[in-house]
Homo-oligomer: A and B are copies of this chain.
């Protein structure tokens, strides 16, 4: 079981390496400190190898993406800067109506700051 997440991981890893960072397997191998053949094994969608605790961290660090993205638990590869945490947390607890209102207001403030693009 759990064959599901394995395939997603393969896609996410290749996507992050190629599209996001434009690296070859050898270059990622260099940055992450693990052999390029291991990366190839990981990126094979039909493969069986899954990263260990350490190797997952190495890959995420080298690619500068979240591990949740690599694992397919989040669709967003960027993390959450601490500065926005408090505000973000509050927004999470708003009703949908209020959320929309907040979003509209924030957009207004953005436009005010940059009158012309």
Contacts and interface: CB of A to CB of B under 8 A. Distances in A.
Q: Binding site of A, secondary structure by majority: helix, strand, loop or mixed?
A: helix
Contact of A73 (B66, B71, B92, B95): B66
A101 B57 CA distance: 35
A76 interface: yes
A76 to B, nearest CB: 5
B80 A106 contact: no
A57 B71 contact: yes
Contact of A2 (B54, B68, B102): B54
Interface residues on A, range: 35 or more
A110 B90 contact: yes
Nearest to A85: B76
A61 B74 CA distance: 11
Which 3 pairs from chain A and chain B are nearest by CB? A50-B53, A67-B67, A98-B109
16 contacts: A5-B57, A50-B52, A50-B54, A52-B52, A57-B73, A60-B68, A60-B71, A66-B74, A68-B68, A76-B80, A76-B82, A78-B80, A78-B89, A88-B88, A94-B109, A98-B109
